[in-house]
């Protein structure tokens, strides 16, 4: 049904993002406003501050991005916004702005599952050589999520395994804090690890070799905390900190590669593409380990450019395009939700409203 460009809005956590994609998925304009400065003094995201920042930034950001794209609101083919999972305040703000635009200009509205947006990013035109046809295996690794999912189609997901405690990104941030690194810690820890010895500390590899593809990072984080506690109080010696960071990163990469390998074995010849998405997917060491695991099983590895791994509105607009192509829209009374699993019944096309 969709013929015009689609406006995407992302506000599920601490990034305020807007993008406009044409009907074929080409990016006409996009922008992400980071809230790092607002949250850094607290060492993490404060939901109330995030929601207020989205409210302050989003209306003007949407106007600027639309002007840059050269598209009038009335010429849009639809409006898509993250409606969950995430911080409920930000989801309400983003969904509210999207619904207002849709209502004012009589446009279709799509409530996008933030995880589905990550899952479908690999299908953006030109991102994966030869394309990313269904089915494929998704490894979603971010600050709040860590799971292996069989992607059979838009809205059709089968969860194969997930974390039983911390997500991978959460573990990165917690270890970075133990090392005295600034927030957000993941990218800073990766830079520090580049000058460290990844074999100096033999940290545990939770779940390594076990059947299935569940994850656990709490024990690894505790092992790092105990090693840090062994050293004198105060800032760690620079080389010690770098070696701990590198050894921790190596342990995480090996666990992720092992768990993804088990997931590939579970799917077998049903698929031949491993898609890694989410903020942690930007880590080069982890990408290399996953690429090796995929190649061993005859799979290709697809990873989005780093800017599309973290929260962004390009993936939201693209998820909206994928759903609009199937004639799927949502009513304006669709309520945002803080929890919304990919395999929830209402993710399936036949369970959602049709235009």
Query: What CATH number should be reported for the domain holding residue 215?
Result: 3.30.420.40
With cut-offs at 50, 70 and 90, classify the pLDDT of residue 43.
confident
pTM of the model: 0.94
Q: Report percent pLDDT > 90 for the chain.
A: 87
Does the pLDDT value for residue 353 go beyond 70? no
Between residues 3 and 255, the one the model is more confident about: 255
With cut-offs at 50, 70 and 90, classify the pLDDT of residue 355.
very low
Residue 209 backbone phi and psi in degrees, to 5? 85, -10
313 lies in the same domain as 298: no
* Strand duo 146-153 + 78-84: pairing: unpaired
In a domain, 101, yes or no: yes
103 lies in the same domain as 138: no
Structure-block tokens of residue 30:
């996009």
In a domain, 127, yes or no: no
How far apart CA 254 and CA 232 sit, in angstroms, is 30
Residue 141 backbone phi and psi in degrees, to 5? -130, 115
How far apart CA 98 and CA 320 sit, in angstroms, is 12
Domain boundary among 303, 321, 336: 303
Q: Report percent pLDDT > 70 for the chain.
A: 99
With cut-offs at 50, 70 and 90, classify the pLDDT of residue 35.
confident
Question: Out of 87-96, 182-191, 246-255, 319-328, which region has the weakest mean confidence (pLDDT)?
Answer: 182-191
Residue range of the domain that includes 260: 134-303
| Mean pLDDT for the stretch of residues 211-218 | 95
231 lies in the same domain as 344: no
DSSP state letter for 181: P
291 lies in the same domain as 145: yes
Return the pLDDT at 183: 84
Return the pLDDT at 277: 95
246 lies in the same domain as 264: yes
Residue 207 near residue 161, CB atoms below 8 Å:
no
Return the pLDDT at 1: 63
Number of CB atoms found within 10 A of residue 343's CB:
15
In a domain, 128, yes or no: no
- Which residues contact residue 148 at a Cβ distance below 8 angstroms, ignoring those fewer than 6 apart? 137, 138, 139, 140, 159, 160, 161, 162, 213, 259, 260, 263
27 lies in the same domain as 87: yes
Token pair 């993002």: residue:
17
83 lies in the same domain as 148: no
Return the pLDDT at 232: 85
Structural domain count of the chain: 2
Mind listing the pLDDT tens digit for each residue in 128-185?
A: 998 999 999 999 999 888 999 999 999 999 999 999 999 999 999 999 999 999 988 8
In a domain, 129, yes or no: no
240 lies in the same domain as 342: no
Between residues 22 and 37, the one the model is more confident about: 22
């Amino acid at each position: 049904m969709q013929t015009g460009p689609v406006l995407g809005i992302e506000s599920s956590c601490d990034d305020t993002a807007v993008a406009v994609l044409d009907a074929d998925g080409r990016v006409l304009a996009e922008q992400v406003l980071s809230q790092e400065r607002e949250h850094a003094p607290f060492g993490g995201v404060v939901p109330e501050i995030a929601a207020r920042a989205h409210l302050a930034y989003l209306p003007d950001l949407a106007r600027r991005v639309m002007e840059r794209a050269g598209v009038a609101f009335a010429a849009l083919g639809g409006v898509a916004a993250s409606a969950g999972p995430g911080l409920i305040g930000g989801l309400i703000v983003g969904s509210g702005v999207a619904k207002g635009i849709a209502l004012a200009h009589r446009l279709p509205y799509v409530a996008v599952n933030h995880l589905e947006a990550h899952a479908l990013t690999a299908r953006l035109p030109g991102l994966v050589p030869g394309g990313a046809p269904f089915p494929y295996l998704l490894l979603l690794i971010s600050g709040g999520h860590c799971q292996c999912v069989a992607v059979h189609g838009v809205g059709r997901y089968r969860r194969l395994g997930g974390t039983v405690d911390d997500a991978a990104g959460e573990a990165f941030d917690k270890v970075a804090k133990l090392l005295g690194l600034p927030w957000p810690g993941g990218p800073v820890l990766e830079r520090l690890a580049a000058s460290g010895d990844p074999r100096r500390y033999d940290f545990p590899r939770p779940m390594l070799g076990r059947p299935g593809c569940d994850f656990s990072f709490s024990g690894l984080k505790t092992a790092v905390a105990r090693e840090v506690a062994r050293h004198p109080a105060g800032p760690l010696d620079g080389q010690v900190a770098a070696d701990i960071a590198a050894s921790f990163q190596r342990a995480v990469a090996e666990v992720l590669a092992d768990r993804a390998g088990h997931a590939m074995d579970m799917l077998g010849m049903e698929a031949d593409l491993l898609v890694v998405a989410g903020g942690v997917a930007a880590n080069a060491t982890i990408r290399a380990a996953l690429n090796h695991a995929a190649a061993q099983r005859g799979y290709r590895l697809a990873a989005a450019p780093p800017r599309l791994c973290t929260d962004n509105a390009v993936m939201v607009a693209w998820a909206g395009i994928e759903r609009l192509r199937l004639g799927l829209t949502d009513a304006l009374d669709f309520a945002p939700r803080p929890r919304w699993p990919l395999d929830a019944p209402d993710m399936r096309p036949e369970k959602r409203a049709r235009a």
